[in-house]
Amino acid sequence: MEDQSAFRAGLKFYRKNLGISQSKLASAAGLSLATIGNFEADISNLSANSMERVRRALLELLKDRATALGFSPAALLPANLSLNRDMRPAA
């Protein structure tokens, strides 16, 4: 299973820097607020399915934010973006 701690760190980093609340992310991913909160607080882990749902939701929220700012999401995101690999904050 994917390294939960690396995913957790990346999720918190990107969610906070994008200004996305846990509630908004949970809703977009179809998960409960408690699930997101407990995961970020290192109380529980996510299943592989839930991690994929969070990745997809975060990517869609990023695209929405880019569009709202007048950017083309396609211009901002590399074609080979892998949220599996790239969900870690830059060192």
Helix, strand, coil % (nearest 5) of the chain? 65, 0, 35
* Per-residue pLDDT tens digits for 19-54: 899 999 999 999 999 999 999 999 999 999 999 999
Per-residue model confidence (pLDDT) at position 64: 85
Has residue 77 got a pLDDT over 70?
Answer: no
For residue 3, the SS3 value is coil
Inter-residue contact 47 to 76 (CB < 8 Å): no
Per DSSP, 71 falls in state -
* Banded model confidence at residue 71, pLDDT cuts 50, 70, 90: confident
Helices (H) and strands (E) in the chain, counts: 6, 0
Has residue 69 got a pLDDT over 90?
Answer: no
